[in-house]
Each structure stands twice: as C-alpha cells, then as structure tokens.
Chain A
Amino acid sequence: MSVPSPEAPAVPAVPAEADATPRLRGDLAVWLVILAELATFGLLFACFAFARVRELALFTQSQATLDLRFGAINTLLLVSGSAGVARAVQALREGRGASVAGRWWGVALACGLGFLGLKGAEYADKFAAGIGLTTNTFYMFYILLTGFHFLHVLAAVVFVAVLWVQTRRGAYGPQRCHVPETGAAFWHMVDLLWIVLFPLVYVMK
C-alpha cells in the first residue's frame, strides 16, 4: 500500500539540498538598504581620507591618542560574531535544531554586546578627556564615523536578539530561513564596514 502512515512527517527528515540556482540570501528591501548604507559610509570614508590630506599632522597626532587595542579587539569581536551568525543560519538550514542555532545566535549576541561595551568605554574615556565633535577635524570624523557605526551594531544586536528568541520558539527551519538570512546579511554588512573603518581610522599612518 502506498498510503502514507499517519506518523509520517510532513517534511522529509533529510534536509533539502541547497538549490543551485543563484539566489540572493535575505530580503531584497534590506539588501537595498545595505547598498545605501555602503554608499553613505563609502562617501564618509573618502571624506575622512581626503580631509587627512589637508591636515596630515593633526590627523597623525590625534590618531596617536586612540587605543589600537580597542579597535583590534573590537574587530575580532565583530568577525567572531559574523562567524556565529553564519553558523546559526547554517544550523537552521540543515535542520540541526533550535538549540544548536540558538547557541550560535548567543555567541553573536555576546560578541555584539562586547563590541558595544568596549566602544562605550572608549567613548567615555575620550569624553572624560574633554574630546568632542568640535575638538578638531579628526575627532569630528572619529566620533561621526564610529558613532554612526555604533548605532548600526546596536541595530544588528537587537535583530540577532529577536532571531535568537524566535529560533528558540521554533519559528525557523530548513525551509524557513528568510528572516534569519536577512538579519545575517545586515550583521555582516556592519562587520564589512568595520573592516574598512579599523585600518583607516586606527592604523593608517
């Protein structure tokens, strides 16, 4: 008899093979936002680099007051968070269960919060030293660029926290990865921006 038994699962236990046709992972609207963000930050990066041409001595002197360790550790936190996000999406796609994916969202969340904490400490240190937006051109760019980026990390952290909760509730699975993929694309964009920002603002002499 070919009648399926009532116990047969509605979805095959073996995860569906990844489709070979090229496909953008995540929501198109968010991807368009990502392009707009990249364009905006790209312009700001170029503005920083060309403002530096006019005030090289000032930029070099002010950059020396930044603590490179904060920038480097924050880079490690963001790339590790990115790996966590990628692993979470992978776990959901492969149907490895909410607890595995949940753990990876947790890793990403911890990395994001660590980034925000360190950056917060860095700002507190600078503000306590009387440094602000109007101190000089370097610090104006430093605060605007990293501050704008900080807000994006905050948004990515909130996104990942929601994904974590929803994953634990069982909202996502092998055929239901659209929202996690969208959140992941946003997180990775935030990481991508920092990858350029870190050498430009903290290291380039």
Chain B
Amino acid sequence: MSLLKNPVDRVWLVLVAATLVTWWLGEGGWARTGGAAAVALMFGLAFLKGALIALDFMETRHAPPLWRRLLLGWLAGVMALIGLAWWLARWRSEG
C-alpha cells in the first residue's frame, strides 16, 4: 500500500477518521444524549488530532522539548478549561 508508506499519509488518515467520528457524533445526536462520555470522546479525538498536527506536521517531535511541551500543554490546558466549563454548565442546568 503506497498510501500507508509515507508517515504524512498515515497521519492524514487518522485525522480524517477522527473528524468523521466527530461529525457522526454531532449528526447522530449522540453529542446531545451521550453526556460526559460523548464530550470526553469528542475532545479526546480533538486532542489526538491536535497532538498529531503539533508533533508530526509542525515537527515538534524533532524540536527542543520546550516547544513540544508548549504546544501539547496549550492543547491540554484549553481542553481542560472547556471540559470544566461544560461540567459547570451541566451542573448549573441540573441544579
């Protein structure tokens, strides 16, 4: 398989697959009914996609560790804040 020989193509395939799952989550309505599991899956996939872009496309895998930490730390920090806000919104609407 020539498509899978190049690491860039492998990353691209994962990115496309993860995007299709997120799309399906939204269209299928599971994003609405799935609660915390759906949100965790959605942002878990977003983290995976972001990490692949940062490490393999932006090539921080081969950069001094500080840059890798900055990008992955940004991703994790932003996702943590979004997760916290999502949880707060749910807690507030239930209470």
Contact = CB atoms under 8 A, between A and B. Distances in A.
B46 A23 contact: no
Interface string B71-95: 1001101110110111011001100
Interface of chain A, main secondary structure: helix
A6 to B, nearest CB: 37
Given A23-B63, A46-B82, A199-B43, A80 B12 contact: yes
Interface stretch (A71-79, A132-140, A141-149, A165-173): A71-79
Interface stretch (A115-123, A150-158, A189-197): A189-197
Contact of B64 (A22, A53, A90): A22
A193 B62 CA distance: 21
Contacts, number: 141
A79 B26 contact: no
23 contacts: A22-B62, A31-B67, A42-B77, A42-B81, A45-B78, A49-B85, A50-B85, A52-B85, A52-B86, A52-B89, A56-B92, A56-B93, A75-B19, A79-B49, A80-B16, A83-B12, A85-B57, A86-B11, A188-B54, A196-B82, A199-B46, A204-B86, A205-B32
Given A192-B54, A204-B31, 8 more contacts: A52-B89, A83-B15, A83-B57, A86-B56, A86-B57, A87-B6, A196-B79, A205-B32
